[in-house]
Amino acid sequence: MPQPLQPFLHDLVSQVAAPTQVWSTPDGQVVPRTDGAAGVLGLLHGDVRLLSGIEVSVDGDPGVPVAHRRRADGAVIFTSLLRRLDAAHARTGDPHVRLDRVRVVAPGRVDEELVVGSTLDVDVEVRVEVRLTPDASPMETVRVGGPLVAVDLPPEGDGWSSDGIVVTVRAPRSTVGVEDGRLALRWTVTVPAHGSVTVAWSAEAVDPAPVVVAAPPDLVAADVLLEPDIDQRLAAWLERSVADLAGLTMALPDSPGDVFYAAGAPWYFTLFGRDSLWAARLALPLGLDVARGTLRALARLQGRSEDPRTGEQPGKIPHELRRNAYELNGMSLPPLYYGTVDATPLWVCLLHDAWRAGLDDDVVRALLPNLEAALGWLTAQAGPTEEVGDVAGFVRYVSAGSSGLANQGWKDSDDAVRFADGTYAAGAIALCEVQGYAYEAAVSGAALLDGFDRPGGDDLRAWAQGLAERFRAAFWCGTDTDEPYPALAVDGSGRRVDALSSNIGHLPGTGLLNLEEEWRVAQRVTSPALDSGYGLRTMSTRDAAYAPLSYHCGSVWPHDTAIVVDGLTRAGLGDAAAGLVEGLLAASVAFDQRLPELWSGEGAPVPYPAACRPQAWSAAAAVVVARRAGVFGGAADAVDAG
């Protein structure tokens, strides 16, 4: 039997309204695979797929698809021509009868209007049919293309339960039947000459035990006011990105007012520590609601004890939250998993940035115990211990093996940390960018403690200074003929992992480097080896492991590029980032204003076919470019002042 393959997404149409999403082909159809594999098409809610088939036909004809377009309100209209009816009734070869399928996705609900329109001179009686295939596949099965999880429909056929989520279907004026395990909805209607007729159906999902819930509508920012003289590429990209961020906004059930961005659809449609923090931080000029909610949601899940199974440690911010345990490619992650080395310092950095941008002092004061716990984890994590040898004094992680993520920075695939000759780093890993985050978190944490008359600020600043000195001694690579640059990482033997990577671009603006070192990094990240012309490559073309369509060894991630642009700007090197900004703008046009999670690093807009789209931190990249362009005025100044 063939090995299941991860489904591709690049040519599909997605609609997201957290925690609900619908994926279809460009004709609007959701057709179950004939080989029994799950694919990705369908209606998903809260990490469970509820429908793997949504098939529409008119007199048995699905029509010939000719267009789909997205309305300003997020609805998608799929247009098909009904040529069999034309052949039976029209005198010319022009198209006369069409089907417009209008799909609206809202939290816990999908609605479709099916509009059959005619320019014929005669009335036509037709049968409109919708066939729905229920499903209960968990997200990890969907992601790897595993087998469908069948659901038995009750005899009355108007609802079912998928992994505890109750689904109810409504189709006014239709006849309803169960056939071959599918729900068949049928209408017999007369389409008037030069007129149209509309039928509709909906599916509603109610989850009695949700892990994540929809955000309150008043806390979902769906638009932004733009100046008329803004670069039109940026205007279109920013408008679409803000709408996508709105669709990704969700909350935890016990605190629905504390909203955050889900990492991305379809695979990461939930709270992710690192992703949600970076997205909130990059999008801070849009307002403080998401930053406040992200900080508080993650603070509630902050580690309290030691648990090797989940990776929990006191003060540690979690990596991800799922409905069930996540089984993927032999790896098993618990529903609440802490396998990340960078979420904790990033939580501190976001708290500081939000405070400087105007977050209410009472909100910050309530989070000070969490801040102190996070700083305690951070400094303890870097404390020298015999077990980690030559990476003592750096913030690092040890591979979790088969039970968790092998790599625990933002490049968390198994093959992400490589030497220039392609060999894999081993032992405890201290990533370069994590040391930058740690330095910034220590200094920012000290400022917060000082600002609220709490002790410990001087100790944190001294710790940060020591980290900078250790970094300068341990991380810099280069030869007499090669300008120095920071290593991707230092491994458990103290060796510099000397691949030239985008990770180094996260260092400017953190304070870890001096001005000369920041300039050296700027020269590297803007060189042709890393700058693809459509954003920053994750690994340079000179490295043996470089592959343009690898997940983390040569592809382009727009959030990665945006972080580098932001850091260079904060470091006073904004002019050096101009080429990277232009690359993101070019990519926004090439990808129809919705930047995916990643794409090829070959210097052309070639999709990475399994990339999430929308992805929160990809959408937030537009906010970084807009802030640089002065779209937000004082909001950006308040953040930069931090």
Cβ within 8 Å of residue 271, ≥6 positions away: 212, 250, 252, 260, 262, 263, 297, 298, 320, 321
**Backbone dihedral angles phi then psi of residue 335, each to the nearest 5 degrees:** -55, -40
Q: What is the pTM of this model?
A: 0.95
Q: Which residue did the predictor score with more confidence, 225 or 405?
A: 405
Where residue 21 falls (left for φ over 0; alpha for ψ -120 to 50; beta otherwise) is: beta
For residue 333, give Cα distances in angstroms to 6, 253, 324, 616, 631.
Answer: 18, 22, 9, 22, 41
CA neighbor of 78 nearest in space, from 105, 114, 47: 114
CA neighbor of 399 nearest in space, from 386, 385, 384, 415: 415
List pLDDT tens digits, range 220-242.
887 777 777 789 999 999 999 99
Residue 635: pLDDT band (50, 70, 90) is very low
CA neighbor of 45 nearest in space, from 144, 166, 150: 166
Looking at residues 412-437, what average pLDDT do you find?
A: 96
Looking at residues 310-337, what average pLDDT do you find?
A: 90
Residue 323: pLDDT band (50, 70, 90) is very high
pLDDT at 223: 75
- CA–CA separation, 222 vs 487, rounded Å? 40
Q: Of the given ranges (327-341, 448-462, 572-586), which has the lowest mean pLDDT?
A: 327-341
Percent of the chain whose predicted confidence (pLDDT) is above 70: 95
pLDDT at 596: 98
- The number of residues in the chain equals 642
pLDDT at 1: 52
pLDDT at 641: 36
pLDDT at 230: 87
3-class SS at 200? strand
pLDDT at 636: 43
List pLDDT tens digits, range 595-605.
999 999 999 99
Looking at residues 11-31, what average pLDDT do you find?
A: 97
- CA–CA separation, 123 vs 86, rounded Å? 12
List pLDDT tens digits, range 81-93.
999 998 888 778 8
pLDDT at 385: 45
CA neighbor of 161 nearest in space, from 172, 151, 174: 151
**Which one-letter amino acid corresponds to residue 391?**
V
Its CATH class, for the domain covering 13-206, is mainly beta
For residue 198, give Cα distances in angstroms to 41, 82, 187, 552.
Answer: 25, 15, 10, 48
Residue 32, pLDDT above cutoff 90: no
Percent helix / strand / coil, the chain, rounded to 5: 30, 25, 40
List pLDDT tens digits, range 98-123.
999 999 999 999 999 999 999 999 99
- CA–CA separation, 331 vs 402, rounded Å? 5
For residue 241, give Cα distances in angstroms to 9, 206, 233, 258, 625.
Answer: 18, 28, 12, 21, 12
Contact 317, 345 (CB under 8 A): no
Looking at residues 542-568, what average pLDDT do you find?
A: 98
Residue 326: pLDDT band (50, 70, 90) is confident
For residue 522, give Cα distances in angstroms to 392, 417, 526.
Answer: 28, 21, 6
Residue 201 sits at the vertex; the CA angle it makes with 196 and 202, to the nearest 5 degrees, is 145
pLDDT at 638: 39
pLDDT at 384: 62
Residue 479: pLDDT band (50, 70, 90) is low
Looking at residues 389-396, what average pLDDT do you find?
A: 80
pLDDT at 389: 53
**Backbone dihedral angles phi then psi of residue 365, each to the nearest 5 degrees:** -60, -40
Looking at residues 133-137, what average pLDDT do you find?
A: 95
- CA–CA separation, 492 vs 71, rounded Å? 53
Residue 480, pLDDT above cutoff 80: no
Looking at residues 472-496, what average pLDDT do you find?
A: 89
pLDDT at 640: 46
- CA–CA separation, 243 vs 157, rounded Å? 35
The structural domains of the chain, with segments of one domain joined by +, span 13-206, 302-499
Q: What is the mean pLDDT of the chain?
A: 93
3-class SS at 15? strand
pLDDT at 2: 61
**Which one-letter amino acid corresponds to residue 411?**
K
